[in-house]
Amino acid sequence: MNSELLAKWDKCLEIIRDNVPETTFDTWFANIRPVKYEDKTLTIQVKSIFVYEFLEGNFVGLLRSTLFKVMGEGTKLMYSILADKENDVNVELEPEAKQSLPEEAVVDNWDSKLIGRYTFDNFVEGVSNRLSRSVAMSVADKPGRAFNPLFIYGPSGVGKTHLINAIGCKIQELHPELHVLYVSAHLFQVQYTESILQKNFNSFMKFYQDVDVLIIDDIQEFAGLQKTQNAFFHIFNHLHLNGKQLIMTSDRSPMQLKGMEERLITRFKWGMSAEMEKPDLELRKNILRNKTHRDGLKFPEEVITYIAEHVNASVRDLEGIVVSIMAHSTITNVDVDMALARKIVGDFSDFEKPVITIDDIINKVADYYGVDVKSLNTRSRKREVVQVRQVAMYLAKKYLDLSTSKIGQYVGGRDHATVLHACKAVTNLAETDKQFRSELSEIEMLLQSA
């Protein structure tokens, strides 16, 4: 091999090492070898499609800037992947064009913000998501006419974001003339706030009213944000009245949304509400088979079964286990087997913490003190009811990434000042009352073991 090429690649590795953690460098970069440099194109060899896609998804920017610095501006990158280890057969691949559309599919330079890798082709169907997928396909085929609005709900990690992006991508394919927009509820709220501060609210409204298909992820994030809800209410009405498609996701059904205006909840129920549940065993196996096949990985069937039986929280967790197993396999240069699977799944189980929700906290505290949850939404000033409210607010502030305003909305419809007062009161009481401190610890143990 050309000694000059090796020297330049070593310089590239030095720069990369300075920009990533040592474990990351050892896992993903240390074993890369330069193959050739021709026509301002550097070809590097990686072990598998999995490594290629991981580098492309996470470090392509770092690789490109490093090559420009060491080998000159405009240097192109090519991957050589060892497809058949026994016969030493390699396949060469170019870097992927990330989330870009063919020019003919772009409408007026419109940026849909869709996540292009989420499609119907790689969405694995099972009993828990069959209805949602069927409805989603109908919406993609006839946006604005079939199931409008579409409200998809279910716990975190079951594939809601994947499915709604798949709808958007399919609509762009079938109806390239339409303006499709995917946005998180959080980003919508940030954009709304900025439009008020910068005095361009009218432009904000016009932008959203010009959308043909509006996809909003995690609509529950609007809880307690009355002005944001009001803006969205008018956008919703305008789009729906003009036959435009609205698609939303939430971690709960419209009926269970708290801190949301009744007029919005009513509109969410106008169309179709479809629930996505946690995947059953067979679906978890199929998701793992699909993931490993798509990444060019070889997992024994017994490993697939073992993972599916022991990791049942979400699709996201299943994919995380696959990435962890492959990372360890790459580091240690060993094949994927049951021993490795048991180790990674065991480590995952040891560190996995239960997901605590605001409802968990309210129900656990109310149950502990023997108080009816419904009484929290009254104006009752009974000592036991007040205490439940205050403890619930305190624990919500401690365990959840929610604003004080949202916590107040969930716990009795109080304002943020009441939540701050509750947190201070609970803290002060815990410092001076040993019995109360013990009660608080017991409730926290119940939450963490749920």
Q: For residues 278 and 129, what is the distance between their CA atoms, to the nearest angstrom?
A: 9
Q: For residues 439 and 437, what is the distance between their CA atoms, to the nearest angstrom?
A: 5
Q: Which amino acid makes up residue 203?
A: S
The predicted-structure confidence for 8-57, as pLDDT tens digits, reads as follows 999 989 888 887 777 778 878 888 888 888 888 888 888 777 777 778 77
Question: Maximum CA pair distance of the chain?
Answer: 82
User: Taking the model in full, what pTM does it have?
Assistant: 0.57
**What is the residue whose two structure tokens read 């088979």?**
289
Quote the pLDDT of residue 106: 37
Q: Which residues pair with 34 in a beta bridge?
A: 44
Instruction: Please state, as a whole number, how many other Cβ atoms lie within 10 Å of the Cβ of residue 58.
Output: 12
Task: State the average pLDDT over residues 329-355.
Answer: 72
Q: For residues 402 and 277, what is the distance between their CA atoms, to the nearest angstrom?
A: 24
pLDDT, greater one: 96 or 329: 329
Structure tokens at 200: 């361009």
Q: For residues 243 and 233, what is the distance between their CA atoms, to the nearest angstrom?
A: 15
Question: Concatenated DSSP letters for 237-270?
Answer: HHHHHTT-EEEEEESS-GGG--SS-HHHHHHHTS
Name the residue among 114, 221, 229, 225 with its Cα closest to residue 172. Answer: 114
Pairing of strands 180-184, 213-217: parallel
Pairing of strands 33-38, 213-217: unpaired
Structure tokens at 107: 């409408």
Instruction: Please state, as a whole number, how many other Cβ atoms lie within 10 Å of the Cβ of residue 213.
Output: 25
Name the residue among 220, 68, 213, 103 with its Cα closest to residue 147. Answer: 213
**Confidence band of 450 (pLDDT split at 50, 70, 90):** low
The predicted-structure confidence for 377-431, as pLDDT tens digits, reads as follows 888 888 888 989 999 999 988 878 777 888 888 888 888 888 888 988 898 888 7
DSSP at 87: T
Quote the pLDDT of residue 188: 92
Angle at alpha carbon of residue 138, lines to 132 and 143, rounded to 5°: 115
The predicted-structure confidence for 415-428, as pLDDT tens digits, reads as follows 888 888 898 889 88
The predicted-structure confidence for 241-294, as pLDDT tens digits, reads as follows 899 999 999 988 898 888 889 999 999 988 899 888 888 888 888 888 887 777
Domain annotation for the chain: domains and CATH numbers: 3-93 (3.30.300.180), 105-275 (3.40.50.300), 281-351 (1.10.8.60), 358-448 (1.10.1750.10)
342-346 long-range contacts (CB < 8 A, ≥24 apart) are 342/306, 345/306, 345/307, 345/310, 345/311, 345/321
Peptide bond into 143 cis (omega under 30): no
Q: Which residues of 384-422 are buried (b: 16+ CB within 10 A; e: fewer)?
A: ebebbbbbbbbbbbebbebebbbbbbbbbebeeebbeeb
Quote the pLDDT of residue 252: 87
Quote the pLDDT of residue 312: 72
Q: For residues 252 and 358, what is the distance between their CA atoms, to the nearest angstrom?
A: 12
Backbone dihedral angles phi then psi of residue 337, each to the nearest 5 degrees: -140, -175
Mean of per-residue pLDDT scores for the chain: 83
Q: For residues 418 and 57, what is the distance between their CA atoms, to the nearest angstrom?
A: 45
Question: Concatenated DSSP letters for 92-127?
Answer: EEPPP-TT---GGG-STT------TT--STTPPP-T
Q: What is the CA radius of gyration of the chain?
A: 26
Quote the pLDDT of residue 94: 58
Backbone dihedral angles phi then psi of residue 89, each to the nearest 5 degrees: -100, 130
Q: For residues 42 and 8, what is the distance between their CA atoms, to the nearest angstrom?
A: 11
Distances from the Cα of 266 to the Cα of 39, 72, 206, 374, 412, angstroms: 62, 59, 24, 22, 21
